Each structure stands twice: as C-alpha cells, then as structure tokens.
Amino acid sequence: MAESTFSEHWHRVADQRIALRPTVQTRRQVVRGEKWFLVQEAFNNHFFRLSEGAHRFVCRLDGRRTVEEVWLLCLEQDPEGAPGQTEVIQLLSQLYQANLLRGEVAPDNARLFERFEKRQKRERRVRFNFMSLRFPLFDPDKLLQRTLPLVRWLMTPFGAVLWIAVVGAAVKVAIEHAPQLRDQSEGVLSPGNLPLLYAALVFIKVIHEFGHAFACRRFGGEVHTMGVLLMYFSPVPYVDATASWAFRSKWRRIFVSSAGMIVELFVAALATFVWAATGEGALHSLAYNVMFIASVTTLFFNANPLMRFDGYYILSDLIEMPNLQVRSQQMLRFLTERFLFGSRSSVNPAQSRREGGFLAGFGIAGAIYRVWLFFWIALFVSERFLLLGILMALYMVAMFTVAPLVKFVRWVAADPHLARTRQRALLVSFGGLAVIVAVLTLVPFPHRFRAPGVLSSEEFSRVFTQTPGTLREILAVPGSTVEKGAPLLRLESPELALEIAAARAELGRAVAEEERALERATATLLPLRARREVAQRTLRKREEQQRDLIVRAPHTGTWAAIRVQDHLGQFFPRGHELGAIVPSQFRFSAVVSQRDAAHLFSGNLHASEVRLAGQAEQPIIVEDVRVIPAEQEVLPSAALGWGAGGEIELAAGDRTGVRAAEPFFELRATLRATPGAPFLQGRSGRIRCELTPQPLLVQWFHQLRQLVQARYQI
C-alpha cells in the first residue's frame, strides 16, 4: 500500500501549478459497473480514460493550487478512492505528453510547444509507416450530414430484418452452389483475375469505411478525416471514426465498429445473387471477387480481435476492457518485472487474477498471430514481386526481431523501475537468452513427418449371398478368425426345398419312362434320355443352391460383418453383401510428398505408427516399412485426392480422381493387429514416421529452405 501511495519522485511534481486546457472535454462512461471518465481533446481528437478518483483529482487542478495541495485534498475527502502518488505522476506524465496541460510560466509554454512538435513528428512517423502509409484527403463530415437522411432508415429494426433476410438467403444460395464456388476459387489469384480482385477490394473497402462513418454520424459523432491507407502497398480508403469512443452506450460503440462488416456482408450477399444468376463474364467474375474479398478480409483482418481492426474494438467493448493491446503489453511487462526480475514496485494493470491471465494470453496470441500473418503476406508478395518480398522480409526481421531486442536492452539497462533489481534483471536476461540459444541449437528434439494413406490388402474379399433366402443362424462370430471354407451364416429357403422335391420327382419320372422304353425297344428312347439329363442338371443346380445356403469363407482371414445379428429373420436376395473376409495382415499405403521424400532415403527412418480416421486416439504399431524407390503419379486410392475430400492436390483436368498434381513416393507399412481398431479395406488415415532427433533450429532452417525452394525454385 505504501508503494502505491507514495513515490520517491513526488518532489518533481508536488510544487507545480497546472490545469487542463480549456479545449479538453470529459464524458462519463460506465464500465463493468464502475464510473469512468473519458477525457477528449477536441482539437486533436485524442482520448484518455480516467477512473473516478483520477478524474476528481484532475478536475481540481485549477492552476492556483499546487499538485500536492490538490492531492492532499482528494486524500482527505476520499482516502480509499484517491489516486496514489505513483498514479498521479503517471497520469500527469500522459496528459503532459499529450499537450493537455497548461502552466503559469512562459518556459512551460515553450516546453509544451516543443512537446507538441515532437508529438507531431511521432504521428508523422506512424502515418508514414513502411507497411501502412496514411494520406488524409478531405473532411467528409458535411457530406455525411447531407446524405445521412438517405441511409438512416437502414439503421433501424426494419433495416436489421432486411439485412438478416438478404444475408440468410445468400448463405442458402452459396451452400447450394458450393462446388462451383470451390472450383472458381482456384483461379482467384491468376494474373487475369488480379485487376478484378483489386477493383473488388477498393469497392468493398469504400463502402466499409462509409459504413463506419454513417454509423458514427448517426449517433452524433463527428467524422473529420477520410483518406487513403497504403496497407502492404495496396491503396485502400480509411476513415477516422474515433469520435464514437466518447459514446456512453457500449452498444452504440459496438455498432459503429461493426457497421463496416455489416455493410460488407450485405453487399457480398447481393453479389452472391448476381454471381448465381449470371454466366461466365466480367460481371460474373467481379461478383465472385466481391464475395471473396468480403469473406477473406472479414475473417483474417476486420473480425479478428488479435489485429487492431474492428474485431479488436468490438471485443474490447463487449468484455469492457479498454486499451486491450496496451494493457496486455503492460501485463506481460509486469509479470516479467515482478516474477523474473523481482521488482516489487511494478504495478499490476489487472484487477483480478482472471483478468491478468486473459491479458497475458491476449498479448502472446496477438504477437504470434501478427508474425504469422505478416510472414505469409511477405511470401505471397514475393511470389509476384521478388524484390518487394525481400524488402518486406527485411522489414519483418527489423520489426519483429531487431526493434524488440533493442527496446528490451534499453528497458533492462535504463528503466528506473529496475534500479534496485538491475543486476538480477541483467543476469536473468542474459542467462535466459543463453538457455534459449542452447536449447534451440544443441538439444535434440523429436523429428518426424506425417503422410496420408489408406488401408489395403490383396486378399480382401466381400461375402455375398449366392442363393436367395432368409437368415436363420450365425455360425461364426463376427470379428473372429476363420479358415477357408468355414461356415459363416445359414440361410433357409422353403421355396428351394419345394423346387428340389419337384426336381427329384421329375427325375424319377424321367428315369422310369426311359427304363420302360428300353424294355419295349421303342423309337422314343433318345428324347426320353435327353429329358432325364435335363432333370439331373436341374436337380444338381437346386442342390448346389441348397448348399450355398450355408455361406462359407472364401479364404482365411477375419470375418467382418457389421450388426449382422440385427438381420436374423430377414430375407436377402441373391448378390446381397453380408460382410467381408479381411486378412490378418494389412498394409498401409502412404503418399509422401517431395518435401519429405529426402527423409525416406536418408537411412534414419525409425519406428512409426498409424492413426485411422475416426479413431485417432488408437495408435496402430507398424511392424515393417518399405519404400517404393520410384516416383509415382497415381494415388493408391481416390479417397486421398481433393475430389473425395482428401488432402492431395489433383492434376488439372483429371477426371479419374487418382492422378496427383505433383509426383510422390509411396511408402508401404505392414500393420500389427490392434484390439479395438478394426481394419477395413480402403479406410484412410495418417502415418507418422520418426526420424533422428535434431535441434529445433536445424529443423526450422530445413523447413524454411524447403519452403523457399518450393516457391521460388532456387
């Protein structure tokens, strides 16, 4: 409590006589049941959120009383809610840096002007960021005021019902045309489609930003800046709708943040109807590109809370945690200072342990996602513009590696909060760095690769009914091992029994007539002999059909029949499948891509396991692995290709579903029988092959080199 109430730097601000500038406005907001006050500087449109105690302190700064006098007054009136000296120093520092305070002497004004110039330079550096250059063009506020009556009706309950109906109908159309959508997506990045794709991007982003602007103006917010943003070298419009932050209702703030995506989805729904109703042509392709841009940008950028776009502000208002990114960074800094460096003066920005865990997780997830997204954007750009991709890669290294490292070194070496624990901070930092480098470069980690495949067997056979009949008895338990010729099922056919009796009677009559003809030596002997032979063949056929009522195993193996006991008493026609005889030895035929093919012939392939689809929790041991030493193009099964939902890309124009787009190597593994994991012909899965353990840095370098070679053929 003493650490938060008193500060060793208090003497630097205690005698200052300062006050807020006249242009500063304050608005009250309620967050999680607590009163907060939003301080807004109307000239520069900057916002600061103050607690009730901090706001009470700031409002008493009138330029006549000193900071210490005001603080003592607040402490006397509200000992529990008054800010501590450390909080006062941080608060005054933020207001001072934002040029929101005025002093009573001229030198103070000079310093304020100097800080204003520095702040302007910082804003210009942010505006001309290498990856997001901003160019303000005009003030759209008057235009919005004049045109707002034309679109106001869309922001009503009627507009919401209309939006739901249109978007719902478009989703239905998209589901019905899913195969066509999937086929057309393969050419979305082709050179001929890029102009239409960019035109759709600009169109979608224009209506997106106007959606934010109209929603903000609808609730009284002012929008004074609209311009062009070069996001990753692509010109897109942007609008400054930060005036919505001052709205008291969080639902209004959420609506303003969501308005751009709402408009996007509505226009994408209209484009879906156009796409479905038109044939091949420019309008058809443009409608598809509008649909594609609206979905991709919404998923990876706007709706994603890990990026500081619409989804970030929506999440911040929903959970009522303002300044999520800043507070998450403060939380990670606090955890580092408190638990690694041992600094007790570090202030926890979270109000509870649960909130602290969320902030820490959000900060880590956001950093990882930004690196991942930027990495793939750089790869995509470099495929078309190699020099530009190299510049982006260098920028990524500088932004995500060099700059954070420099900031970290400055923090550990010069931050005043670490003055008492600097020796421990340096020791932990350099020691931790040494441990990380040693782990990445020296410690072997499991090294493996996975490949899709299917179960197959040369002796696999299905069991069918040879004679129609009613199933009366199960002679072999499904799942048991049976020998060749072993009885499996018994069928019954009263009709066949009658036919056999009739055939025997017919044969007896034919024999009797033939014998009588022999005694009389008549000329009808030959026809009677032919009649007897026909009767004999008919009887033999019926007796064979009767023997086929006992269904037998065609070869040795495992009798597999699914829920055959449920069919007792059921009549089956001839040719009905009853089950299958599967051998005890199965092989798993896996498709190994060119990326992993080098491991097959390196001599360090070790024990493996297979996991089948639908029962991934049950590993199956591999007894033997054999590699077919020749490239192949025909898949072992169509189930592995894209056409049947597999993960292997098929060759362009292939209609068989088994010709791969790239050559591959086949790996055949003999599997050990595993209880609880039935082997079925054609069942798909994945095989995991263990390699010689290697340090993580070696594995990552190898994967990066393969990625570069595959994309740039170097």
Q: Is the pLDDT of residue 574 over 60?
A: yes
Tell me, yes or no, whether 283 lies in a domain.
yes
Assign 385 a pLDDT band (cuts: 50, 70, 90).
low
* Separation of alpha carbons 623 and 672, rounded Å: 6
Whether residue 136 is found in the same domain as residue 268: yes
Three-state secondary structure of 227-281: EEEEECCEEEEEECCHHHHHCCCHHHHHHHHHHHHHHHHHHHHHHHHHHHHCCCC
Please give the residue range of the domain that contains residue 105. 2-126
Q: Are residues 274 and 329 in the same domain?
A: no
| pLDDT (mean) for 531-547 | 87
453 falls within a domain: no
* Rounded alpha-carbon distances, angstroms, from residue 100 to 39, 40, 63, 103: 10, 9, 13, 10
Which residues does residue 634 pair with via DSSP β-bridges, in sequence order?
659
CATH assignment at residue 657? 2.40.30
Same domain? For 517 and 438 the reply is: no
Do 312 and 333 fall into the same domain?
A: no
Q: Which residue has the higher pLDDT, 443 or 378?
A: 443
Q: What is the number of structural domains in the chain?
A: 5
Bridge partners for 261 per DSSP:
none
Select from 303, 318, 333 the last residue of a domain.
Answer: 318
For residue range 630-670, list pLDDT tens digits in order. Answer: 788 888 888 888 877 788 888 877 778 888 888 888 888 88
The answer to whether residue 111 scores a pLDDT higher than 60 is no
Is 389's pLDDT higher than 50?
yes
Q: Which of 290, 318, 346 is the last residue of a domain?
A: 318
Query: Rounded CA gap, 259 and 273, in Å?
Result: 22
Across the range 107-126, mean pLDDT stands at 47
Q: What CA–CA distance (Å, rounded) separates 204 from 440?
A: 44
- Residue 508, phi then psi, degrees to nearest 5: -60, -40
Strands (E), 381-420: none
Last residue of a domain, one of 76, 95, 126: 126
Mean residue pLDDT across the chain: 81
Alpha-carbon 687 to chain mean position: 23
User: What is the pLDDT at residue 189?
Assistant: 64
Contact 98, 41 (CB under 8 A): yes
**73 and 200 together in one domain:** no
Q: In this structure, is residue 346 part of a structural domain?
A: yes
pLDDT above 90 (res 677): no
Q: Using CA atoms, how far apart are residues 579 and 576, in angstroms rounded to an integer? A: 9
Whether the per-residue pLDDT at 163 is higher than 90: the answer is yes
Residue 353: pLDDT band with limits 50, 70, 90: confident
Q: Which of 391-405, 459-473, 683-697 has the lowest mean pLDDT?
A: 391-405
Are residues 222 and 141 both part of a single domain? yes
pLDDT at residue 286 is higher than 50: yes
What is the Cα–Cα distance from 65 to 17, expressed in whole angstroms?
6
Do 621 and 694 share a domain, yes or no? Answer: yes
d(CA 515, CA 518): 5
Rounded to the nearest 5 degrees, what angle is found at the Cα of 426, between the Cα atoms of 424 and 427? 60
Shortest CA distance to 672 belongs to which of 636, 618, 635, 628? Answer: 618
Burial of 136 (0-12, 13-18, 19+ CB in 10 A): middle
The share of the chain scoring above pLDDT 70, in percent, equals 87
Tell me what pLDDT residue 116 has: 44
pLDDT recorded at residue 127: 44
Asked if 551 and 511 sit in the same domain, the reply is yes
Residue 113 confidence class, pLDDT cut points 50, 70, 90: very low
Which range among 271-285, 307-321, 515-529 shows the weakest confidence by mean pLDDT?
Answer: 515-529
What per-residue confidence (pLDDT) applies to 438?
A: 93
Is the pLDDT score of 383 beyond 70? Answer: no
Contacts of 627 (CB under 8 A, 6+ apart): 600, 601, 665, 666, 667, 668
Instruction: Return the minimum-mean-pLDDT range out of 118-127, 275-284, 557-566.
Output: 118-127
Query: For the residues 110-131, what does the mean pLDDT come to?
Result: 48
Q: Are residues 16 and 152 in the same domain?
A: no
Give the per-residue pLDDT at 439: 92
Same domain, 146 and 225: yes
Per-residue pLDDT at 711: 64
Task: Give residues with Cβ within 8 angstroms of 105, minimum separation 6.
Answer: none
Residue 162 has pLDDT above 90, yes or no: yes
Is 451 contained in some domain? Answer: no
Helix (H, G, I), strand (E, B) or coil at 578: strand
- Rounded CA-CA distance 655/167 in Å is 34
Q: Residue 395: pLDDT above 50? A: yes
More confident position, 475 or 8: 475
Q: Could you tell me if 151 and 203 lie in one domain? A: yes
449, part of any domain: no
Together in a domain, 495 and 432: no
Does residue 202 fall inside a structural domain?
yes
Residue 458 falls within a domain, yes or no?
Answer: no
